Structure 1
Amino acid sequence: MSLPEDLGIVVVNYGPPDLLEANLVQLGRRLTTGRVVVVDNFSTLAHREATTALAAREGWSLIAPGLNLGFGAGVNAGARLLISRGCSRLLLINPDARIDEAGVLALATACAANPQQLQSPRIVRPDGSLWFAGGTVDVGRGRTRTGDPVDSSAPGGWLSGSCLMVHAHLWDWLGGFDETYFLYWEDVDLSWRCLAAGGTLLVRDDITVVHSVGGTQDTSGKSPLYVYSNCRNRLAFAARHLDRRHVMRWLLLSPVYAAAVLQRGGRRDLARHAVPLLMAAARGTVAGAGLAMRTLIAPAPANRPAVIRRLNPVREDS
């Protein structure tokens, strides 16, 4: 059975196109021309030229901004293009993630049957170890939690943006990713907005994606941007979705969270790059704290989480 005509794929790339060549070419050739959109966030001229050549060879549509839009804005741009071309089912996938045709077809079929549901496959590392099979936000501890057993469909759940299947109607209803996150936590935010609007989340344990974790990074360890974004966006998420008591708690727990983020690249990497990483953690925490403080000092009615329209029944026209 071939992939449906109304399916489109969005991939946000940064850096050389090696991962696109390895993971997207075979799958992309199973789709109609124009149904694969690569958003190439600018890194260098050499990378842009190589990515442009690959896209032209494969018949992919290339969105090539002159700067780095960030992950959320890149996905939004690709999704808009595909929806304008009539795609009603969207696969959002990282360049360092690989899924086979059968997995895509299963996700697309379920998306048509339940268009108010965000879906993610089970995600493993190249060695077969589990990377993501569900996530939840531990509100009390001020952090996310993944691994077995974590049920994304439970209250507080979320799905990884590394590989998502979403119906275009749901995507439009939610407004896509919040671009103010730029990088990291935008998938947690989208998941919570989906749940608040009456949608559901599901991890498909019968579908597996292989994710070369960190494959999009040029160096080993975690970059200052990674550290900054996680520290800032955690508090941005709290300011948007949590009550004052929990925002204050998350704010007080920020040093503990920042220390944990700094350790994710390993102690050796932290020792080698201590100054830029520590500065990134401090800057990100301060930036996020500013957002949190605005919530804490705002009048009580304005502090309530933004009202999200409840989903009307979405009909699959096909």
Structure 2
Amino acid sequence: MREAAIVVVSYGSSALLAQHLAETARQVPEARIVVVDNRSSDDELRAVTALTERMGWDLVALERNTGFGGGVNAGVAHALEHGAEAMLVLNPDARIDRAAFQALAAAGDERTLRSPIVRSPSGRVWFSGLDIDLVDGEIRHPRRRHEFPAGRPVPWLSGACLWITREVWELSGGFDDAYFLYWEDVDFSRRVVERGGSLLVVEDAVAMHDEGGTHKESGQRDEAKSELYYYWNIRNRMRFAAGHLDDEGVRRWQRRALQAAWRIILRGGRRQLLRPVPPLRALWRGLRDGRRIAEEALSPRAEQRT
């Protein structure tokens, strides 16, 4: 097996690292463990520093919160600098065993971005491949393609657990940290394919994802989503459109932005609407900033045609 590293981006997640990453490290002792601390607080930095020193892991401590993509970029750069030829990017609330790690390493070729099947602790499938429909910007499971015969579905892989070779990383150019949170894995997947790579869900590999582990620690309901979740999902839908679609595609997604944003809000359930200010504020801000991104993308394109 080529030398590999496991890269985990942490934001206030020291307790999750002690639970999940520690088990992964025990299962895969030959992998270099790289923890990126996206700055949240002095106490959290001290906790992560103590944990990484005790476990013998590498720590990349950032001075500010750079978002998920920025954290991955920092962690992968560290891993490559220390000789890694492949990186497993893993959420702090996820874990993987040795058999799955080896299955990911053996699958595909050096230009293949890979993901395992991801399950929740109850056994429910959390991820087994998803599509983004380039017609309307909706995310759907590939099994639903037949319901939308006029669509243009393209696959993407979740950043919760990704096997990335050095070749894929260099081909793609890494994560776009301007997304900050959410949709950066959709964008990354598309750039891999657009530049000659491929995507693969390795069905012989299974990772466990304790989705919403941070919500449980804060006492938030399992179905509820944060205001930041809504804002970045709504905003970044249009960032993806601006980066990957032609003018008509960007305008088409913008026309459907309110409808898509409302569906994103409803992922948190209807009970949250008894206290509507946070989700509706996120909806308004996400639509506003998404529109700005679309307008900024279309403006220079119009100038180039004149």
TM > 0.5 = yes
Partner residue, 1:110 = 107
Mapped pair 1:239 → 2:242: yes
Q: Residues 131 and 156 of structure 2 are in contact (CA less than 8 Å); yes or no, is this contact kept in structure 1?
A: yes
Q: Residues 262 and 270 of structure 1 are in contact (CA less than 8 Å); yes or no, is this contact kept in structure 2?
A: no
Note the alpha carbon deviations across 1:81-134, whole angstroms, 9 max, x for none. 0000110011001011111011001111226xx010000001111111111111
More helix by share: 2
Partner residue, 2:251 = 248
Q: CA deviation at 1:300?
A: 5.1
Q: Give, as a single letter, the amino acid of the residue that structure 2 aligns with 1:160.
A: S
Cα distance 1:285–1:125, how it changes in 2: closer, same or farther (>3 A)? same
Q: Give, as a single letter, the amino acid of the residue that structure 2 aligns with 1:125.
A: S
User: What percent identity do the matched residue pairs reach?
Assistant: 44
Cα distance 1:97–1:148, how it changes in 2: closer, same or farther (>3 A)? farther
Q: Residues 14 and 216 of structure 1 are in contact (CA less than 8 Å); yes or no, is this contact kept in structure 2?
A: no
TM-score under structure 1 length normalisation = 0.87
Residues 135-284 of structure 1 correspond to what in structure 2 (within 5 A)? 135-146=130-141, 148=143, 156-217=154-215, 218=218, 219-220=220-221, 221-272=224-275, 274-284=276-286
Cα distance 1:79–1:232, how it changes in 2: closer, same or farther (>3 A)? same
Cα distance 1:150–1:159, how it changes in 2: closer, same or farther (>3 A)? farther
Q: Residues 131 and 147 of structure 1 are in contact (CA less than 8 Å); yes or no, is this contact kept in structure 2?
A: no
Q: Give, as a single letter, the amino acid of the residue that structure 1 aligns with 2:113.
A: L
Q: Give, as a single letter, the amino acid of the residue that structure 2 aligns with 1:202.
A: L
Equivalent-residue separation in structure 1 for 2:3 and 2:214 (angstroms): 28
Q: Residues 143 and 234 of structure 1 are in contact (CA less than 8 Å); yes or no, is this contact kept in structure 2?
A: no
Q: Give, as a single letter, the amino acid of the residue that structure 1 aligns with 2:7.
A: V
Equivalent-residue separation in structure 1 for 2:304 and 2:80 (angstroms): 34
Range moving further from structure 2, 40-49 or 284-293? 40-49
Note the alpha carbon deviations across 1:125-157, whole angstroms, 9 max, x for none. 111111111111112222221364679xx9611
Equivalent-residue separation in structure 2 for 1:230 and 1:82 (angstroms): 29
Q: CA deviation at 1:302?
A: 5.7
Count, aligned residues: 294
Q: Residues 103 and 202 of structure 2 are in contact (CA less than 8 Å); yes or no, is this contact kept in structure 1?
A: no
Partner residue, 1:25 = 22
Note the alpha carbon deviations across 1:198-218, whole angstroms, 9 max, x for none. 110000112111111122344
Q: Cα RMSD over matched residues?
A: 2.1
Note the alpha carbon deviations across 1:255-299, whole angstroms, 9 max, x for none. 111111111111112323x21221112111111111111233333
Residue ranges of structure 2 left out of the alignment (5+ in a row): 147-151
Q: Residues 135 and 150 of structure 1 are in contact (CA less than 8 Å); yes or no, is this contact kept in structure 2?
A: no
Cα distance 1:261–1:302, how it changes in 2: closer, same or farther (>3 A)? farther
* Secondary structure, aligned partner of 2:213: coil
